Each structure stands twice: as C-alpha cells, then as structure tokens.
Amino acid sequence: MTPRARALRREGRIPYVPMLTATPTGLLSSDFHLARDGRPLATLRQSAVREKATVTLDGVEYGLRNQLLGRDFLLRREGRLLARADKRAFRYAFDVTVGPEGPAPRTFHYASVGLLVGGRFRLTEGERTLGEATKVMLGRTARTSFPAAMPLELEVFLLWIALMMWRRDRND
C-alpha cells in the first residue's frame, strides 16, 4: 500500500478491507494455509478424491463440499446448512444463497470475470460489487477482498469455490 493510501485509510476515507490469503501447504499438496492480513488463521484440508474440504475457525469445524449429483456447493456447520452456491451450467458463475433454511435468505451472484477466465471471481448483490477473489499469477496462491462485515466462514467458502474452479482448469 502506498503512503498516500495509508494516510487516506487513517483518515477514514478508504474503508479497511481485510485480505484473506490461501497458500498451498506444499508443492503438490491440495491443502491450503489461510491467513488474514498476513496472520495465520487455519488450514483448509482438501479431500484428495472429491471436491470436499474441512476448516476449523475459532474452534468450530465447517464442512465444504460439492454434491456428488447436482451443481450445488454447500457450507455446513454441525450438519446445519449455512450457505449454498448453485453453479450455472457451462459457466463459472454461481447463485449464492446465505441462510437458505432461515427466515430471510440473502442471495448474491459470484462469477468469473476479466480477460483471464477463472483468474478472478467477483461477488455482487444486485448491481453493487461487494468484493472479489483473485488468483496470484504463476502459482496457486489466492487472495480475497470482501467487506469486513462478511462472516469469515462465508469468505472461506467463496474462496474455496474459486480454488475448486481453478483446480478444475488445471486438471483439464
């Protein structure tokens, strides 16, 4: 960040946006170390066989998985569905519903954008852009910039979806 940007942030004219980073745990590993603003946070443990992972955040284990049949990516905590991302056919685009079983579900759109298809995913609500996940060039490291008010487990879920799409690209 430039000195000018730091000064504007101190003055409150640029909002603070926490950055979540996923870095592979090893050269051939499918697991990722997660860090928030450079501070270690957790390890995302990816299944070797399917698009399935677990992560423990603040002592709570979350399950992330792609249904075997269908296009739904699911975020669960203790068997309770927290979020669902429905993949659109033939595109790297998702309709994400947060709290699908609750009284007031909230829906977002999460899609691949930019010249490098799959290199960046943008989260929008209506016409408003909320943030994005980007892949670092020449590697498997990824970063997010979502609003500070977004629950961490939802941010990890969205980052994991992007990681799975980039993994599909590498395997094709």
Does 159 score more than 70 pLDDT? yes
pLDDT band at 136 (very low <50, low <70, confident <90, very high): confident
Q: What is the CATH number of the domain that holds 37?
A: 3.20.90.10
Q: How many domains does the chain have?
A: 1
What is the pLDDT averaged over residues 152-157? Answer: 95
Indicate the pLDDT class of residue 37, thresholds 50, 70 and 90. Answer: confident
Burial of 115 (0-12, 13-18, 19+ CB in 10 A): exposed
Direct distance between the N- and C-terminal alpha carbons of the chain, in angstroms, rounded to an integer: 36
Could you give phi then psi for residue 132, rounded to 5 degrees?
A: -155, 160
Say yes or no to pLDDT of 88 above 90: no
Q: What domain range is 39 assigned to?
A: 3-171
Element (H, E) at 132: strand 128-135
Closest CA to 113 of 170, 162, 168: 162
Distance of CA 161 to the CA centre of its chain: 6
Q: What is the mean pLDDT of residues 102-108?
A: 85
Mean pLDDT along residues 75-85: 93
pLDDT single digits (tens) 40-71: 999 999 988 778 999 999 999 999 999 866 68
3-state per-residue secondary structure call for 20-78: EEEEECCCCCCCEEEEECCEEEEEEEECCCCCEEEEEECCEEEEEEECCCCCEEEEEEC
Instruction: Give the pLDDT band (50/70/90) at residue 158.
Output: very high
Identify residue 18 by its one-letter amino acid code. P
Q: How far is CA 87 from CA 7, 93, 136, in A?
A: 41, 6, 23
Q: Give the position of tokens 């050269």.
A: 27
Amino acid at 110: Y
